Structure 1
Amino acid sequence: MIPQLLAKLVEKKDLSESEMEKAFEFIMDGKATPAQIAAFITALRMKGETVEEICGAAKAMIKKAHTVHIRKEKEDILLDVCGTGGDAHNTFNISTACAFVLAAGGIKIAKHGNRSVSSKCGSADVLEALGVKIELSSEAVKRCIEQIGIGFLFAPLFHPAMKYAALPRREIGIRT
């Protein structure tokens, strides 16, 4: 599966939403080799991701993610704040700062994040430096969001199927 899609990407052809969803499921099921994963995400980055490709990847990730069910009032807004990582400009972790500002403004925040992969520091690195416990259960994150307006969803715990892509992403060292 990955070699056929990789051939399309190398030719700068877009993948359909369905192709991308199936590719991500294949990767997250542990069926792709590390070399296939590295080649696939590099080719995708070089071509540039389309909306359809991002939607397909997101659908596959949502299927595999551990969920947190938040009780909220009708007027409540729940916002998921997640940075892209590896901006190559040596900026500080903007998404984490943004999450605090939004939460202070009354917006309930579900902050997804991880340790640094291709940047100076990831959200988890920042929060740990601030003394925040990052490895929380779904129930604990739910309580944080409901009681104080912000909770951190540590990627390895809430997206365990992404473990197959972690090493190839770290080794290629570019934002993917």
Structure 2
Amino acid sequence: MDAREALGLIGSGKTLTRAEAEATMGSVMAGEATPAQLGGLLAALRVRGETMDEIAGFASAMRRAAVKVTLSVADAVDIVGTGGSRNDPFNISTVASVVAAAAGAKVAKHGNRASSGKCGAADVLEALGVKIDLGPEAAARCVDEVGLAFLFAARYHPAMRHAGPVRREMGIRTVFNILGPLANPAGVRRMVLGVATPELGETMARVLGELGAHHVLVVHGADGLDEISPTGPTLVWELRGGAVRQSSIDPAALGLPLASVGDILSGDPAANAATARSIIGGETGARRSAVLLNAGAALIVA
């Protein structure tokens, strides 16, 4: 099935099976969809909403088309978000990845440049002087030797070049915004995944289960954050043993003072880099709390 056929099915009120979705995205990744076909498909999915089978099928095709990273460890973890938060916090997940690795986790951090906020993982790491475009062998060696590697999405998903121009021209959030976190090229099966809307929580947890994940915390924080938030309770959907259980994390119950969202807002890459250095250097307060909450979650699933 290609994008044109899929668009016809969706236009007639039908949904795609997982196999149909996987074939459709495979066609897109191969460059076989015209801009009009892909734009129409993405718009139709945005209006109707994607099913779990469609998301799983699309993600499977993206994983298949990715440049693979083969790790020597089976329990690597990723801390990642879909983006699109109502507020724009500093790059919490990237700093949390460093802290989790320092605490003993093996972290294969998958990320990109900013799409919805001011600073993505690639932007802040580049500002910190990190070489962000390591190939698969070097990345695997970093995980082995220091417990942490950054997998730059633009480096590991070259087939996305076929969708990039259409996405930029459309200028709206599409299914690709939630597919990126599902397509870690190292195939990690343990993850802390932040979502910007609670409606995505259970769906993303179940999709990850379909994709073979072992232990996942899908989180939606107070103030609309796609992180575990220090500003109030965070909703959690935990996938473990094939089952999904919903709960919440209250920072006050963990002995952390409640912060205001203004305490953790983002800036440009240089500001984010300064924030990262300050937190790792011993800063206390709301930003440290945000990092500890998310690093702690990574250690739970690792």
1:88 Cα deviation from its structure 2 partner: 4.5
Cα offset, 1:78, TM superposition: 0.6
Counterpart pick for 2:144 among 131, 146, 163: 146
Label 1:168 to 1:98 Cα distance change in 2 as closer, same or farther (>3 A). Answer: farther
The answer on whether the counterparts of 1:12 and 1:47 sit within 8 Å (CA) in structure 2 is: no
User: Secondary structure of 2:150's partner?
Assistant: strand
C-alpha displacement of 1:61: 1.3
The AA in structure 2 aligned to 1:138 is P
Out of 50, 65, 75, the position equivalent to 1:77 is 75
Q: Report the Cα distance in structure 2 between the residues aligned to 1:148 and 1:19, rounded to whole angstroms.
A: 41
- Of 170, 173, 192, 1:172 maps to 170
Q: What RMSD in Å do the two structures reach over aligned CA positions?
A: 2.0
Aligned to 2:85: 87
| Bigger Rg, which one | 2
1:171 is displaced (CA, Å) by: 2.4
Partner in structure 1 of residue 53 of structure 2: 52
Letter in 1 for 2:52: V
Q: Equivalent residue of 1:171, what SS?
A: helix
Cα distance, 1:12 vs. partner? 5.2
2:120 alignment partner AA = G
Runs of 4+ aligned structure 1 residues displaced above 4 Å come to none
CA distance in 2: counterparts of 1:169 and 1:161, whole angstroms: 14
Q: Is the 8 A contact 1:87 1:175 kept in 2?
A: no
Structure 2 counterpart of 1:108, which letter?
A: K
Structure with larger RCO (C-alpha < 8 A, sep 6+): 1
Change (3 A) 1:6 1:98: farther
Shift in Å at residue 149 of structure 1?
0.9
Residue type of the partner of 1:33?
T
Q: Do the aligned partners of residues 33 and 85 (structure 1) sit closer, same or farther apart at CA in structure 2, a change above 3 Å counting?
A: farther
Letter in 1 for 2:103: G
Amino acid at match of 2:5: Q
TM-superposed deviation, 1:94: 3.8
Superposed displacement of residue 10, structure 1 = 4.2
1:121-169, Cα deviation, whole Å (9 max, x unpaired): 2211121122111011111101111111110111121111111111222
Shift of 1:118: 3.4
Letter in 1 for 2:3: I
**Deviation per residue, 1:50-75 (Å, 9 max, x gap):** 22112111211121111111112xxx
For structure 1, which runs of at least 5 residues remain unmatched after alignment?
none
Matches within 5 A, 1:20-169: 20-72=21-73, 77-169=75-167
Confirm or deny: 8 A CA contact 2:3 2:25 kept in the other structure: no
Cα separation, 2, equivalents of 1:140 and 1:4: 40
CA shift in 2, pair 1:93/1:6, >3 Å: farther
| Distance in 2, Cα, partners of 1:68 & 1:167 | 26
Alpha-carbon separation, structure 1, partners of 2:17 and 2:69: 29
The verdict on how the C-alpha distance between 1:48 and 1:89 changes in structure 2, with shifts beyond 3 A counting, is farther
Letter in 1 for 2:26: E
Percentage identity across paired residues of the two chains: 49
* Structure 1 residues 39 and 90: alpha-carbon distance in aligned structure 2, compared to 1, 3 A threshold: farther
- How far the C-alpha of 1:42 sits from its partner, in A, is 2.6
TM-score (norm 2): 0.52
C-alpha distance in 1 between matches for 2:92 and 2:36 = 31
Amino acid at match of 1:124: A
**1:113–1:154 Cα contact (<8 Å) kept:** yes
Aligned to 2:296: none
Letter in 1 for 2:171: G
Compute the TM-score of the two structures, normalised by the length of structure 1: 0.86
2:88·2:118 contact (CA, 8 Å) conserved in 1?
A: yes
